[in-house]
Structure 1
Amino acid sequence: MVLPVLSRIGRSLLVVLLVTMAVVLLMSLAPGSAAEVILGEAATPEAVAALNAKLGLDQPLWAQYLNWLGDAVRGDLGESPVTGQPVTEAIVERLPVTLQLAVMALLLALVVSVLLAVASAVRPNSLVDRAINAVSSVFLSVPAFIAGPLLIYVFALQLGWFPVTGWSRLSDGIGPNLLGALLPAIAIALTEIAAFHRVLRADLIGTLREDFVGAARAKGMSGAYVMLRHALRPSSFSLVTLAGINLGRLIGGTVIVESLFALPGLGQLLATSIVTRDVVTVQGVVAFIAVVYVGVNTAVDLSYRLIDPRIRKVATA
């Protein structure tokens, strides 16, 4: 048991290392530097070179990366050369916004998709099933950068139910916070609902045809009990895997939505840092997201035994 866990941790650390290396290489291909952004367009080449030397940006790329990596291993993600703010502090400030959006979107997607999948799987190819599949196809074809403006136009500008942009923290009250977070969360959740529904629907239809489900029905158990007790849990493997993977992806994939709704989260921080050539902040944010991503995936793998007792029996056999 110990060796597989250590192997998993080693692979996860390798993924984080490769991701941060790729960030450095990609950022090096972009023209300009943080010194040019700080000094402005009127800066002389001499002033830019002097500031690059002061910030350590005149060193070879591999030396910059190794210096950053050595500090990151000790928990220091560096300091932004553009804002002067420690990267760890910037992440801590903005993480609650992004985390709330990602969790809200994931919970909305799970609840709605489970309800739709159960309704579809009870009578496959029925009118209800076809209607739900049609709605799911629409959701799947509408990305967040299209759903976001549509939701803003209808529910914020026309109906006035939600604020157009901006963010209210929980300290300002749960009501204002949820009003500011719900539309962005829905914009993120739409495509997740479609993906979750399709995966769970297919697995449920297959499970409902298994012999143990037929035996449960033959004992006189109600359809709702059979669905919830015998069919839903063993059909949730793919859904749990997909949800776990998507949670890590959602934490790093809210850039467009946070920009559309002017939300002070990690996505907006990452987008701003890329524009200003703030490599240190980009590295820190990407490294944090990569750690969260691989951590969530590891937790998903370990959760399989809790979902289906058959996994525990195989492991102990």
Structure 2
Amino acid sequence: MMLTAAVRIGRSLLVVLLVSLAVVGLMSLAPGSVASVILGEDATPESIAALNEKLGLDQPFWAQYLDWLGNAVRGDLGTSPITNQPVTEAIAERLPVTLQLAAMALLIALAVAVLMAVASAVRPGGAVDRALNVVSSVFLSVPAFIAGPVLIYLLAQQLGWFPVIGWTDVGEGLAANLRGALLPAISIALIEIAAFHRILREDLIGTLREDFVGAARAKGMSPSYVMFRHALRPSSMSLITLAGINLGRLVGGTVIVESLFLLPGLGQLLTSSIVSRDLITVQGVVVFVAVVYVAINTVVDLGYRLIDPRVRKAVTA
């Protein structure tokens, strides 16, 4: 088990290293520089070159990267040349917004998907099951950048149930905070609902055919008791695994929604930094998101091996 954990952690560190290299490489291919953004359109080539030298941007690619990597290992992700704010401080300020959106989206997706999967598994192939499969397909085919404007138009502009854009901190009122966060969270959750519904539906249908479920029914237990007490729990292993993995993806997947709803999260920080050619901030945010995603995946993977002995046997076989 220790060897498996060490190998998994080593692979995760390699992934993070490759992600940071890819970010630096892609940003270096983009036209312009952060010096031209800081000095403006009227800046002379000499002044741009002088500022690049001051910021260390005149160094070769590998030298810049190794210098950044050495500081990052010590927890220093650099300082933005645009705002003069440490990247770790900027991430800490905006992380709560992103985490709240991801957590709310995950909880909404789980709650709705469980209800849909239970309703579908009661009578597979029936009218309710077919209707819910259609709804699931619609959710799966509607990305957040389409769902967001549609929900804004219907629920915010037409019905006035939610604010169109903006964010309210929890300190200014929990009700206002949830009211402003619910619409973007729903936009993110739609695709997750479809994925969770499909995997839990299949597992529930299989579990309901098991002998122990038949024995529970033979004892005269109510269908709802059998479903929620005997069938749902053993059918949720794949759902829990997928939810854990998707949580890491959701942390980095709120970029479009945060930009659409003008939310002060990591997504908006990343997009604004890309526009301003702030490579230090872009690299720091992307690496941070990659670390979170990889860490959650590693914990879920190792935890799954501990919970399910069949996985350990398959690895050691």
Over residues 67-118 of structure 1, what are the superposed CA-to-partner deviations in whole Å (9 max), with x where a residue is unaligned?
0000000000000111111000000000000000000000000010011001
CA–CA distance in structure 2, aligned partners of residues 305 and 226 of structure 1: 28
* Cα pair 1:102 1:185 within 8 Å, conserved: yes
CA–CA distance in structure 1, aligned partners of residues 299 and 250 of structure 2: 16
Aligned pairs for 1:85-96 (under 5 A) are 85-96=85-96
CA–CA distance in structure 2, aligned partners of residues 32 and 307 of structure 1: 51
Amino acid at match of 1:282: V
* Cα pair 2:121 2:204 within 8 Å, conserved: yes
Over residues 222-269 of structure 1, what are the superposed CA-to-partner deviations in whole Å (9 max), with x where a residue is unaligned?
322332233222222322222122111111111111111110000000
CA–CA distance in structure 2, aligned partners of residues 24 and 13 of structure 1: 17
Amino acid at match of 2:70: G
CA–CA distance in structure 2, aligned partners of residues 300 and 220 of structure 1: 37
2:44 aligned partner: 44
SS in 2 for 1:24: helix
* Cα pair 1:234 1:308 within 8 Å, conserved: no
User: Tell me, which stretches of 5 or more residues in structure 1 are unaligned?
Assistant: none
- Structure 1-normalised TM-score? 0.94
1:242 aligned partner: 242
Aligned pairs for 1:113-262 (under 5 A) are 113-262=113-262
* Cα pair 1:188 1:257 within 8 Å, conserved: yes
* Cα pair 2:207 2:213 within 8 Å, conserved: yes
1:306 deviation in Å?
7.5
1:31 deviation in Å?
0.7
Amino acid at match of 1:254: T
Amino acid at match of 2:38: I
CA–CA distance in structure 2, aligned partners of residues 310 and 39 of structure 1: 61
1:310 deviation in Å?
7.2
SS in 2 for 1:85: coil
SS in 1 for 2:166: coil
User: Tell me, which stretches of 5 or more residues in structure 2 are unaligned?
Assistant: none
Amino acid at match of 1:171: G
Over residues 8-54 of structure 1, what are the superposed CA-to-partner deviations in whole Å (9 max), with x where a residue is unaligned?
21111111111111111111111111111111111111111111110
1:6 aligned partner: 6
1:121 deviation in Å?
0.8
2:286 aligned partner: 286
* Cα pair 2:166 2:180 within 8 Å, conserved: yes
1:311 deviation in Å?
6.8
CA–CA distance in structure 1, aligned partners of residues 169 and 302 of structure 2: 33
1:309 deviation in Å?
7.9
SS in 2 for 1:17: helix
* Cα pair 2:5 2:302 within 8 Å, conserved: no
* Cα pair 1:24 1:65 within 8 Å, conserved: yes
Q: 1:305–1:21: structure 2 CA closer, same or farther, 3 Å change rule?
A: closer
2:266 aligned partner: 266
1:99 aligned partner: 99
Q: What is the RMSD of the two structures over their aligned residues, measured on CA atoms?
A: 2.0
Q: Does 1:65 align with 2:77?
A: no
CA–CA distance in structure 1, aligned partners of residues 186 and 31 of structure 2: 36
Q: How many equivalent pairs are there?
A: 316
CA–CA distance in structure 1, aligned partners of residues 271 and 209 of structure 2: 48
CA–CA distance in structure 2, aligned partners of residues 312 and 40 of structure 1: 59
1:308 deviation in Å?
5.8
1:152 deviation in Å?
1.0
CA–CA distance in structure 1, aligned partners of residues 308 and 208 of structure 2: 16
* Cα pair 2:241 2:304 within 8 Å, conserved: no
* Cα pair 2:273 2:279 within 8 Å, conserved: yes
Amino acid at match of 1:12: S
Q: 1:161–1:257: structure 2 CA closer, same or farther, 3 Å change rule?
A: same
CA–CA distance in structure 2, aligned partners of residues 302 and 253 of structure 1: 23
Deviates more, 1:53-62 or 1:305-314: 305-314
Deviates more, 1:2-11 or 1:83-92: 2-11
CA–CA distance in structure 2, aligned partners of residues 260 and 311 of structure 1: 41
* Cα pair 1:81 1:278 within 8 Å, conserved: yes
Q: 1:307–1:107: structure 2 CA closer, same or farther, 3 Å change rule?
A: farther
Q: 1:309–1:13: structure 2 CA closer, same or farther, 3 Å change rule?
A: closer
Q: 1:206–1:246: structure 2 CA closer, same or farther, 3 Å change rule?
A: same
Deviates more, 1:179-188 or 1:130-139: 130-139
Deviates more, 1:236-245 or 1:130-139: 236-245
* Cα pair 1:23 1:283 within 8 Å, conserved: yes
Amino acid at match of 2:127: L
1:209 deviation in Å?
1.8
